[in-house]
A = this chain, B = another copy of it.
Amino acid sequence: MINNFFENRKSVKQVEESTELAPKFENNGLIPVVTTDFKSGEVLMQGYMNEEAFIQTIKLGEAVYYSRSRKSLWHKGKTSGFKQIIKEIRIDDDQDSIWLRVNVRGGASCHVGYRSCFYRSIPIGNSIDKSKIILEFKEKKKVFDPKEIYGNETSPTKL
């Protein structure tokens, strides 16, 4: 563990019922993170942190993720200006998932230009087959133009 910042995981009781922070990082060294808008409750994005990103996030009060595509720490908003100011950090029962509640400077979180990364919904139902799956855009308009913000930077999306 870096700087012994976290507690060792000793028992199920300690992890689930105590006030000790003993997060579990997967074999790849990462823990998944859910980020929601503090006011609307909307899920903005889902990302990952390594130990260093998690420590920096706690100390800084701004979201620092680990970018799997760039393989480096990612202080969200450093390029775009859309920093995520943390109002609350929560951790789940078995301490292998983090929930950030944030205010976003500029109001947008998605590199495609939308407020939330989750701008499309999937239809539900017994009779659904592939031909009937047409994603619905829940955000009708982009909040910003990605080209203005990122220029010709390559999309982080991997196929």
Give the B-binding residues of A (Cβ under 8 A). 3-7, 9-12, 15-21, 24, 32, 34, 36, 40-43, 45-46, 58-61, 86, 88-94, 97, 99, 110-112, 114, 117-126, 128-130, 133-138, 155-159
Contacts and interface: CB of A to CB of B under 8 A. Distances in A.
A2 B157 CA distance: 23
Interface of A: prevailing SS: loop
Number of copies of this protein chain within its complex: 2
A5 B120 CA distance: 18
Nearest to A9: B159
A99 B86 contact: no
Given A91-B118, A118-B92, A124-B89, A112 B59 contact: no
Contacts of A155: 12, 16
B157 A93 contact: yes
Given A97-B46, A130-B5, A90 B120 contact: yes
A131 to B, nearest CB: 10
A91 B159 contact: no
Nearest to A157: B94
